[in-house]
A and B are shown apart, each in its own frame.
Chain A
Amino acid sequence: DQQVKQNSPSLSVQEGRISILNCDYTNSMFDYFLWYKKYPAEGPTFLISISSIKDKNEDGRFTVFLNKSAKHLSLHIVPSQPGDSAVYFCAASRSNDYKLSFGAGTTVTVRA
């Protein structure tokens, strides 16, 4: 049972524009959410996270928004750069269980 879903397998965006990646979850017990970025032939690297006590967390060009009532989070990348081209995974966990549940990933391609 897929508890974390990324319904868009791919996203293409012009350099300099905004990339918006979406993620939905079904388990209301999740209270910590993360985004990981993965380049080919490398392991995923942590990008940004958000706790359920917040609805927004910003780190440079990356902002994550959390809508608990909708069980939805999104990652905004502004402005998008060619080096942002990668697969982005959404992940969720419960604070008393550090096991991460991952979505299937969204492949972002930033066009020059």
Chain B
Amino acid sequence: GAGVSQSPSNKVTEKGKDVELRCDPISGHTALYWYRQSLGQGLEFLIYFQGNSAPDKSGLPSDRFSAERTGGSVSTLTIQRTQQEDSAVYLCASSLVGYTEAFFGQGTRLTVV
């Protein structure tokens, strides 16, 4: 596609439920990032995928968070047993290897009630 696509754009879930957020990066971009923005905060790094290398998971806030990237393209961020503090906008971005200018999707607004 022309840009980074994320789905769903909005998700409301009950506390304790699991959610899956999807990211479809720009074709040919081997680097993929997940960030989140909580209300009034900056973008917080979650996880980084680069080609076939082991992902950098250093930003994942707890073991309830996991992400995978299948076939070097689409990525899914999974949050298990959601908590209210997980409410945020989750942003996916992709870039070419060696380029730091990442292109962001429109984000998924997650609300845990």
Query: What count of chain B residues pass the 8 Å CB interface test?
Result: 26
* A residues in contact with B65, CB < 8 Å: none
**Interface 9-residue window, one of A12-20, A41-49, A78-86:** A41-49
Given contacts A34-B100, A100-B100, A100-B102, A44 and B42 within 8 Å (CB-CB): no
Query: Cβ of A32 and Cβ of B104 under 8 Å apart?
Result: no
Q: What is the minimal beta-carbon distance from B80 to any residue of chain A, in angstroms?
A: 24
Query: Cβ of B42 and Cβ of A105 under 8 Å apart?
Result: yes
How many residue pairs link A and B with beta carbons under 8 A? The number is: 59
Q: What is the minimal beta-carbon distance from A93 to any residue of chain B, in angstroms?
A: 5
Q: How large is the interface on A (under 10, 10 to 19, 20 to 34, 35 or more residues)?
A: 20 to 34
A91 to B43, CA, bound (A): 9
Q: What is the minimal beta-carbon distance from A24 to any residue of chain B, in angstroms?
A: 13
Query: Cβ of B105 and Cβ of A43 under 8 Å apart?
Result: yes
Chain A: CB-nearest residue to B10: A41
The yes or no answer to A66 lying at the interface (CB within 8 A) is: no
Contact among B33, B40, B105 for A100, CB-based, below 8 A: B33
A36 to B100, CA, bound (A): 12
* B residues in contact with A99, CB < 8 Å: 33, 45, 48, 56, 59
Given contacts A34-B100, A46-B101, A98-B95, A41 and B42 within 8 Å (CB-CB): no
* B residues in contact with A89, CB < 8 Å: 42-43
The yes or no answer to A74 lying at the interface (CB within 8 A) is: no
Which residues of A are in contact with B by a Cβ distance under 8 Å? 2, 4, 6, 32, 34, 36, 41-46, 49, 89, 91, 93, 98-105
Which residues of B are in contact with A by a Cβ distance under 8 Å? 4, 31, 33, 35, 40-45, 48, 50, 56, 59, 91, 93, 95, 99-107
20 contacts between A and B (CB under 8 A): A4-B42, A34-B100, A34-B101, A41-B106, A43-B91, A43-B104, A43-B106, A44-B43, A44-B104, A91-B43, A93-B100, A98-B31, A98-B99, A98-B102, A99-B45, A99-B48, A100-B102, A102-B35, A102-B43, A102-B44
